[in-house]
């Protein structure tokens, strides 16, 4: 998760602007999907795979996945091997989108599942998360490794699992890029580089969603997740429509921090002028280990993560299979 003004608030991101039509503090609405509710869809992604991937990415062996380190190299190889095993192709010549930060070499990992519709496959949907973290943090009981399980191995695992699902089912008419960023903790440098690179080749990007800190559930009476930049497009409405219930909602507290611009969705919004938002289940009250050595896999709720990841399959299908580009920027 980005480091900005979080010296006092161990936080993440969310909406930038409120509208009168926004759901007020996200009370449960009709057809809302909450943590304790079972959605009427078959479980296509298994908890065991989610847990296994999380335990590796957040293990001490990766030393906190700081950009430019041996640990993040191990993470990148792990993601690449997962993509290869599950027939997720690289979009570029290799899976890596490399860039330089002074004397540090960073690299995003980019997988690709081509759309199966001749008329729509040249339109791209981007799903993303950052797989880097900060390396080390203040020592607690001899431990200095900031494992970054929730931040953001959780989002990384979600993107990996969706890549596997769509590479297997081939159920997307539009093409999808599955993008995992490094150097997010250095100021969104990885996502900025990839957005600029794709812009230079005039990629026809329809929309982008970033997933940040989805490893723990919200309160039982809240909608499952919230979306940043709630009023900037009709994405919240369309995602809930595709899901058949409210999977995302408005979150009041984050507006005051202007966090729409502080996660990996923003470089794509800036470069392409498209609807590009971030989604999280971290709401300031449900996880106390931001940039902390105890942000470890044993703190994650794998039942919640499995529920979340499977709940978004019909959402992603809705985005990739709609006959027209239904998600649009709002005039503000």
Q: Please, what are the domains in the chain?
A: 47-321 (3.40.630.10)
How many angstroms separate the Cα of 44 from the Cα of each of 41, 264, 290, 311? 9, 27, 30, 10
Averaged pLDDT for residues 190-200: 98
Range 205-221 average pLDDT: 97
pLDDT at residue 246 tops 70: yes
Residue predicted with more confidence, 42 or 95: 95
Sign of the CA dihedral running 13, 15, 17, 20: negative
At 139 the pLDDT is: 97
Asked if residue 113 has pLDDT above 60, the reply is yes
**Cα end-to-end span (Å), the chain:** 28
Percent of the chain with pLDDT over 90: 83
- Nearest to 2, CA basis, from 267, 281, 300, 197: 267
* Structure confidence at residue 298 (pLDDT): 98
- Using a cut of 0.75, tell me whether the model's pTM lies above it: yes
Farthest-apart Cα atoms in the chain, separation = 58
């Amino acid at each position: 998760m980005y480091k900005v003004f979080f010296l006092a608030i161990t936080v993440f991101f969310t909406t930038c602007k409120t509208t009168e039509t926004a759901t007020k503090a996200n009370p449960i609405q009709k057809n809302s999907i909450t943590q304790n509710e079972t959605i009427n869809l078959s479980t296509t992604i298994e908890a065991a795979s989610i847990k296994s991937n999380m335990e590796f990415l957040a293990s001490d062996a990766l030393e906190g996945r700081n950009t430019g380190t041996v640990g993040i190299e191990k993470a990148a190889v792990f993601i690449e091997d997962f993509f290869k095993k599950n027939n997720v192709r690289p979009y570029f010549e290799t899976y890596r989108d490399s860039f330089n930060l002074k004397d540090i070499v960073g690299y995003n990992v980019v997988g690709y599942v081509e759309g199966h519709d001749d008329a729509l496959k040249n339109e791209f949907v981007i799903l993303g998360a950052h797989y880097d973290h900060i390396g080390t943090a203040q020592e607690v009981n001899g431990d200095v490794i900031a494992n970054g399980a929730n931040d953001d191995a959780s989002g990384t695992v979600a993107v990996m699992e969706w890549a596997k699902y769509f590479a297997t089912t081939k159920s997307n008419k539009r093409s999808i890029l599955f993008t995992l960023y490094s150097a997010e903790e250095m100021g969104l440098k990885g996502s900025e580089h990839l957005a600029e690179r794709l812009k230079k080749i005039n990629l026809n990007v329809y929309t982008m969603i970033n997933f940040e800190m989805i490893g723990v559930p919200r309160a039982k009476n809240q909608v499952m997740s919230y979306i940043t930049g709630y009023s900037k497009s009709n994405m919240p409405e369309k995602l809930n429509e595709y899901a058949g219930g409210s999977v995302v909602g408005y979150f009041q507290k984050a507006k005051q921090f202007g966090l729409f611009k502080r996660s990996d969705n923003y470089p794509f919004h800036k470069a392409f002028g498209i609807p590009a938002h971030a989604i999280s289940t971290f709401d300031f009250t449900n996880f106390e280990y931001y940039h902390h050595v105890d942000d470890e896999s044993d703190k994650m709720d794998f039942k919640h993560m499995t529920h979340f990841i499977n709940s978004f399959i019909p959402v992603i299908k809705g985005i990739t299979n709609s006959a027209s580009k239904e998600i649009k920027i709002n005039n503000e």
